[in-house]
Every structure is written in structure tokens, then in C-alpha cells.
């Protein structure tokens, strides 16, 4: 077992723990103590104000006194939220840094980055007024349906409150979205809002069928029908907007770079970003050539990938993933790759109709949850696709294995087990995109390097093709938003350079238009790999095997919760540069 330092968490050491050492200094004067106490009070007040402004965020965090409540998405309320964030940011900056502990200074920088990210999307990108995906990501009712935090009849009450709020929210969404909208964003809204309508009508009642309360069932049916009608109304409205749709989805280079600085503290020139992505794409393409030389000697790369893809998991992707998770957890523990804090296990389920824009994802309970349940969701192919496309969409066993690495062991699932237990509620509540997706993507290649697959080239091809997919996401995000790339060009790049099937290529190219942040899988991975190599170089003795230090690095990295990786780099190495 890894030997921790006497500090509980490196990122927040001074705030939460103390080691043995010299005798403590004399107590500070009362006035200084009062100043020092201001930061915990400020952070706590900010969290509670955030829960009040966005009660559904609180519910997902595990604060179930907010069950059944939803945010106000009117234009006036969004303006008020923007003002609240600006005011809180100014107050945080006025606190005297010299009066804060080292842990409090780190947490303040962390929270300032959270605020800056939220302000960017509200104020600079104006996402609530330009992008239906901003709403879709905030409407998922999974917390009431699949998290067993309370008896089913109690969760039903919370769900009914949620569903009753949907018609009002739908009206606010329609009022906020400025038309014409880009065609791909229109289609994402049609699929998402239409998926919600179908889900409300067909699936929710099955979840609550065991509740033997006729009055409650009547309320559920009425709330679901009203919610479905509201979502269907949004779908039909957007269908009518297709004829006006544009191709004006690009943020543009200045705003894209501002996004990276505001949300991730990454301040890197565009040319440097492009060069890093192209280099990683070429590195992984060469790795694919080498693996295919073993797996299909003399064959072309597309044929090699097709051979891997043809080796499907028995019983389908969901059943295959369930078997893989047992193998992966045993591997992580046996190899001592990273600390596993408890015996929790995720359930593997089919993704609901309203959330099938990507093949796989994990639903994560919040840090206040007393009975956490994690759901590893896998989307079936779109029934509207051809039979050939539906068959191709199901991944081969090798590719599914590294998707399971990414989502569960030791990717998102394990990472959120660590962040949910962080003593800092700021660190537990706000895990950044590049940190979470970067870690999960980093884990794929790291697990292969640690010996997963015992050198099987078919498995290696599964890992490499996932890496190529993320490389093309990275370059597509940059291309679509800063280089004038079209959706069709992005689609072709996924087909030709990531070697994915046609259905996946369409999904991924479209996603780049409404999720410009999906470059952060590769961006985060590159920053973590660089940080690991630099940190190990500082700590390893001459001639030592760097892998001997990986577990210590992994545990230390995960101890920070999920801040911008440049903040972690500064905390671990004392420097901010050298990110890529």
C-alpha cells in the first residue's frame, strides 16, 4: 500500500492537516485570526448561494432538501446569476492572500477558475442564448430514477416536482434561444428534446411502477405528459427552424483561446496547440501501424481496424462491459496502479433515449450523497441508421475494454471516488473538464503501458483507436472553431484518421460544433503526461524505473479534486509553464 505523507491531501495541506515538526507558533492576534477565518466562511457561503441559484445542481450533489426544485432560466434570472458571480469574484479577490493559509490560497485560485469558467459561458459565449446543448446537459433526471438515495416513493415526489417544472423551463428555453441557429445545434436540440419527450412518455412510469399509491401515480402521469408535451413542443419548433439554419457555429480563434484561459487556465498560442495535437495524432498513427504489422501483417490500416472491430463482445456491449469491469478492477489492485478507496462498484446500463449523443458515459453521484450509485451508460445504435451502420457501431472487444478503462477502472469512476471524498467541498463539487477527461484518457495508454492485455496487438489497437478518436476531436475542435473547417471535413477526418464507423463519425463531427471543449480529452492527457514525467524526473533516483513512482504520482494528482491542471502543476512542481 502506498505510504501517504502525514499531510492528508497535498493540495490543501495547510487548510486541513498538520504534520509533526517544530513547536507551533504563538497564536495570531484576534484580528488576524478573524481575517484568516474569512475564507472558509466565504467558500461555504458561495456554495450555498450556488445551490439556491441552481437547486438541481444541489440535488445532483446529494443535497436532497432541494429535491423537486429547478433553476429559473429566464433572461432576467440569468442576468442576476451573472451579477452574483461577478460580485463573488470581486469579494474573493479582496481577501488578503497573505492572511490565508497555503491550502486556502490554492482553494481560492481553484474557485476563481470555477467562476471564470461559468462567466465565460454565460457572458462571453452566451451559451444559454446560442446553444441548446447548454440546457440538455442540465435536464437529466437520472438522480431521481437511478440513485437509490431514498425509498422510491420519496424519490417519486422529487421527480414529480422536477417534471412539473419542465413546461416553464421549456418556455424559457424557447424565449432565450436566438435564431437562426447553426444546423448541427438545431439537430442536437431536436434529438435531445425529442428524446426527453419519448423518455417521459415511455420509460419513467416503469421506474416508479412499484409505488403503490394511486394518487402519486396520477400525479406522475400528469406531470410526465405535461413535460413530454413541452419537450415535444421544443422539438417541433426546432424542426421548423431547420429551414433557417446556418453554418455559423464557430467561436472564432480569439474566443476559443479565451475559453481555454477562462475555463482551464491554459494560455498557449494557437500554433502551439495545433502542433501538439498533430504530433500526438502522428505518434498514435505510428503506434497503430506497428500494432497492425503484428495483428494483420501486410494489411491496410482500415482493414486492421475492421478486424479488431469485428471481434464483438459476446452478448453485446452492455454485457461485455460488465465482464470487463471485473477484470479491470482486479488488474488495478494487483498492479498497485492507484489507491482504491472503497468497495463501491458501478452498474452498467443502456443509456436513456435523451442522452445518446455519445457511445458511453458514466453518471456520477455528488459528494453529499449518502448512498452513492454510479451508472456506466452505453448507448445502442440509432434505429434510424442502416443495418450495416448499426452493426458497425457496436465496438470490438478491444475498443470496448479501453472505453471501460476510461469510464470506470481507473478512469472517471475511480477519479470521482477520490474527488467526492476530498475535504474541500470546492474540490469535490467542481471537477474540471480537462482534469476529468484528461485523467480518464490518460489512463487508457497508462494501463496498456502497465501491461493490460499482455501485449495482445488486438487489444492495443483498441487502445490506440480510442486515442486517435480523441486526437481527431482535438484537431476538429481547433479546426471547426478557429480554422474554418466544415462539419463535412471533420466527418471525413474521423473516418480516415480515427478509423471510426460512419455513424460515429457523424456524431463526433456534429459534437465538435456544440461542444468545442471536447479537445480537452487530449489536452488534459498531454498536460498530465508531461506533469507525470517532470514530477517523476524530480523524485526518481538515478537509474530508477520511472514506473515505480507512478502510483505515488497518481495518488497525489487525484488528491487535488479537479482544478485546472496548471494549478496542479504549480502546486506539485512550483512552476506554471511547460504544460505541453
Domain match, 111 and 184 both? no
Please check the confidence at residue 560 and state whether its pLDDT lies above 90. yes
d(CA 256, CA 250): 9
Comparing 71-85, 177-191, 362-376, which segment has the lowest mean pLDDT?
362-376
Q: How far apart are CA 305 and CA 311, in angstroms?
A: 10
The confidence score (pLDDT) of residue 9 equals 32
Is residue 22's pLDDT more than 70? no
In this prediction, residue 391 has a pLDDT band, given cuts at 50, 70 and 90, of: confident
Same domain? 269 vs 237: no
Q: How much of the chain exceeds pLDDT 70, in percent?
A: 93
C-alpha cell at 71: 433553476
Does the pLDDT value for residue 157 go beyond 50?
yes
Same domain, 217 and 326: no
Q: Do residue 185 and residue 305 come from a single domain?
A: no
Considering the domain architecture, whether residues 307 and 419 belong to the same structural domain is answered as yes
Fill in the DSSP letter of residue 125. S
78 part of a folded domain:
yes
- Answer whether residue 294 is part of any domain: yes
Q: What is the mean pLDDT of residues 507-532?
A: 97
1 within a domain of the structure (yes/no): no
Q: What mean pLDDT do residues 203-209 have?
A: 94
The total number of structural domains in the chain stands at 3
Chain centre distance of CA 571: 23
Q: Are residues 39 and 140 in the same domain?
A: no
Q: Is residue 447 part of a domain?
A: yes
Q: Are residues 137 and 226 in the same domain?
A: yes
Q: Which of 244, 275, 307 is the last residue of a domain?
A: 244
Q: Are residues 452 and 509 in the same domain?
A: yes
Q: Would you say 189 and 234 are in contact if contact means Cβ atoms under 8 Å apart?
A: yes
- Could you say which DSSP state residue 63 is in? -
- Stretch among 31-40, 99-108, 346-355 having the lowest mean pLDDT: 31-40
- Please indicate, yes or no, if residue 507 is contained in any of the structural domains: yes
Summary mean pLDDT of the chain: 92
Domain enclosing residue 179, as ranges: 133-244
Is residue 527 domain-resident?
Answer: yes
**CB within 8 Å of 268: residues ≥ 6 apart:** 260, 579, 580
pLDDT tens column, 47-84: 999 999 999 999 999 999 999 999 999 999 999 999 99
Q: Do 186 and 310 share a structural domain?
A: no
Mean pLDDT of all residues in 167-192: 97
- Residue 118 — pLDDT band, cuts 50, 70, 90? very high
Residue pair 494/472 in contact (Cβ under 8 Å)? The answer is: yes
**217, 244, 271: which is the final residue of a domain?**
244
User: Is the CB of residue 354 less than 8 Å from the CB of residue 199?
Assistant: yes
Q: pLDDT at position 501, please?
A: 87
Average pLDDT over residues 15-29: 37
For the CA atoms of 399, 404, 406, 412, the dihedral, rounded to the nearest 10 degrees, stands at: 170
Claim to verify: residue 479 and residue 398 sit in the same structural domain: yes
Judgement on whether residues 71 and 173 belong to the same structural domain of the protein: no
Domain end, chosen from 95, 125, 155, is at 125
Q: Does the structure show a pLDDT above 90 at 534?
A: yes
Q: Could you tell me if 329 and 477 lie in one domain?
A: yes
Q: Is the pLDDT of residue 21 over 70?
A: no
- Does position 564 have pLDDT exceeding 80, yes or no? yes
Give the model confidence (pLDDT) of 268-298 as tens digits. 999 999 999 999 999 999 999 999 999 999 9
Residue at 362 is within a domain: no
Q: Is residue 2 part of a domain?
A: no
Amino acid at each position: 500500500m502506498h505510504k501517504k505523507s502525514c499531510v492528508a491531501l497535498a493540495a490543501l495541506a495547510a487548510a486541513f492537516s498538520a504534520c509533526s515538526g517544530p513547536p507551533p507558533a504563538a497564536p495570531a492576534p484576534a484580528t488576524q485570526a478573524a481575517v484568516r477565518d474569512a475564507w472558509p466562511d466565504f467558500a461555504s457561503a458561495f456554495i450555498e448561494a450556488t445551490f439556491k441559484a441552481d437547486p438541481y445542481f444541489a440535488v445532483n450533489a446529494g443535497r436532497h432538501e432541494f429535491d423537486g426544485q429547478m433553476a429559473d432560466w429566464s433572461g432576467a434570472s440569468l442576468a442576476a446569476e451573472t451579477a452574483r458571480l461577478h460580485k463573488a469574484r470581486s469579494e474573493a479577490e479582496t481577501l488578503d492572500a497573505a492572511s490565508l493559509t497555503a491550502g486556502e490560497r490554492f482553494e481560492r485560485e481553484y474557485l476563481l477558475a470555477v467562476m471564470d469558467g461559468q462567466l465565460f459561458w454565460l457572458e462571453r459565449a452566451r451559451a444559454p442564448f446560442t446553444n441548446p446543448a447548454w440546457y440538455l446537459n442540465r435536464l437529466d433526471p437520472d438522480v431521481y430514477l437511478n440513485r437509490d438515495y431514498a425509498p422510491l416513493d420519496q424519490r417519486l415526489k422529487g421527480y414529480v416536482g422536477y417534471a412539473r417544472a419542465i413546461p416553464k423551463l421549456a418556455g424559457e428555453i424557447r424565449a432565450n434561444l436566438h435564431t437562426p441557429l447553426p444546423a448541427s445545434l438545431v439537430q442536437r436540440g431536436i434529438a435531445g428534446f425529442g428524446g426527453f419527450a419519448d423518455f417521459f412518455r415511455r420509460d419513467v412510469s416503469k421506474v416508479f411502477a412499484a409505488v403503490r399509491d394511486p394518487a402519486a401515480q396520477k400525479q406522475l402521469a400528469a406531470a410526465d405528459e405535461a413535460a413530454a408535451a413541452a419537450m415535444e413542443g421544443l422539438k417541433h419548433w426546432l424542426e421548423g427552424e431547420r429551414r433557417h439554419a446556418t453554418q455559423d457555429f464557430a467561436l472564432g480563434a480569439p474566443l476559443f483561446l479565451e475559453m481555454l484561459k477562462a475555463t482551464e487556465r491554459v494560455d498557449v498560442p494557437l500554433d502551439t496547440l495545433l502542433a501538439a495535437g498533430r504530433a500526438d495524432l502522428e505518434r498514435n498513427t505510428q503506434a497503430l501501424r506497428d500494432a497492425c504489422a503484428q495483428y494483420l501483417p501486410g494489411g491496410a490500416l482500415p482493414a486492421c481496424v475492421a478486424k479488431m472491430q469485428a471481434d464483438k463482445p459476446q452478448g453485446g456491449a452492455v454485457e461485455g462491459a460488465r465482464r470487463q469491469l471485473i477484470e479491470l478492477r482486479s488488474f488495478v489492485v494487483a498492479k498497485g496502479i492507484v489507491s482504491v478507496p472503497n468497495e463501491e462498484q458501478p452498474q452498467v446500463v443502456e443509456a436513456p433515449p435523451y442522452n445518446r449523443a455519445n457511445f458511453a458515459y458514466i453518471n456520477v453521484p455528488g459528494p453529499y450523497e449518502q448512498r452513492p450509485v454510479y451508472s456506466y451508460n452505453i448507448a445502442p445504435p440509432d434505429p434510424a441508421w442502416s443495418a450495416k451502420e448499426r452493426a458497425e457501431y457496436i465496438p470490438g472487444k478491444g475498443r470496448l475494454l479501453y472505453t471501460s478503462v476510461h469510464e470506470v477502472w481507473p478512469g472517471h469512476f475511480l477519479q470521482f471516488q477520490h474527488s467526492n471524498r476530498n475535504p474541500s467541498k470546492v474540490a469535490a463539487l467542481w471537477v474540471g473538464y480537462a482534469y476529468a477527461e484528461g485523467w480518464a484518457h490518460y489512463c487508457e495508454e497508462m494501463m496498456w503501458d502497465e501491461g493490460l492485455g499482455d501485449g495482445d496487438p488486438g487489444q492495443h489497437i483498441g487502445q490506440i483507436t480510442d486515442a486517435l478518436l480523441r486526437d481527431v476531436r482535438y484537431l476538429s475542435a481547433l479546426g471547426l472553431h478557429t480554422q474554418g473547417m466544415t462539419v463535412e471535413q471533420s466527418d471525413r477526418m474521423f473516418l480516415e484518421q480515427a478509423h471510426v464507423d460512419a455513424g460515429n463519425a457523424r456524431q463526433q463531427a456534429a459534437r465538435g460544433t456544440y461542444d468545442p471543449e471536447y479537445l480537452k480529452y487530449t489536452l488534459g492527457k498531454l498536460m498530465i503526461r508531461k506533469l507525470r514525467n517532470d514530477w517523476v524526473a524530480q523524485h526518481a533516483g538515478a537509474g530508477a524505473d520511472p514506473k515505480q513512482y507512478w502510483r505515488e504520482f497518481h495518488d497525489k494528482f487525484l488528491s487535488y479534486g479537479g482544478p485546472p491542471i496548471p494549478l496542479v502543476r504549480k502546486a506539485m512542481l512550483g512552476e506554471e509553464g511547460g504544460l505541453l
